């Protein structure tokens, strides 16, 4: 029991208030997870382009490019998987929550 003599939350408030705040946090996390995935896709796409340019350069200068090409393949497959996963998540909202 709390000091006020009421049961529920430690501060004596009703547990329903805490549960609605918890639901808001979970709702924000669902929307935010899509935005976080967009950031990850952008990061991976940048490094995929870097690997593509490096692989092309290594091929044109007749240097060994197998490792670079395998890295490029791995990053393209990861990017493809992330884009497929992103399509299943809800669309981004127009406003940003701070």
Assigned domain for 73 exists: yes
Which domain, by its residues, includes 88?
Answer: 35-92
Which pLDDT value is given to residue 30?
53
Assigned domain for 46 exists: yes
Assigned domain for 12 exists: no
Assigned domain for 98 exists: no
Assigned domain for 19 exists: no
Using 50, 70 and 90 to split pLDDT, how confident is the model at 69? very high
Which pLDDT value is given to residue 50?
97
Total domains present in the chain: 1
Which pLDDT value is given to residue 88?
83
Assigned domain for 72 exists: yes
Q: What is the DSSP string of 26-80?
A: HHHHHHHHHHHHHHHHHHHHHHHHHHHHHHHHHHHTT---HHHHHHHHHHHHHHH
Of 29 and 55, the structure prediction assigns the larger pLDDT to 55
Of 26 and 67, the structure prediction assigns the larger pLDDT to 67
Assigned domain for 14 exists: no
The listed range with the strongest mean pLDDT (31-35, 46-50, 87-91) is 46-50
């Amino acid at each position: 029991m709390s000091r006020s003599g009421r049961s529920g939350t430690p501060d004596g408030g009703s547990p329903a208030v805490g549960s609605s705040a918890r639901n808001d946090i979970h709702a924000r996390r669902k929307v935010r997870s899509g935005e976080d995935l967009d950031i990850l896709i952008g990061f991976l796409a940048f490094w995929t382009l870097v690997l593509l340019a490096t692989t092309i350069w290594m091929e044109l200068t007749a240097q060994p490019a197998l490792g670079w090409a395998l890295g490029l393949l791995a990053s393209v497959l990861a990017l493809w998987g992330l884009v497929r996963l992103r399509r299943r998540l809800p669309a981004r909202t127009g406003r940003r929550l701070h």
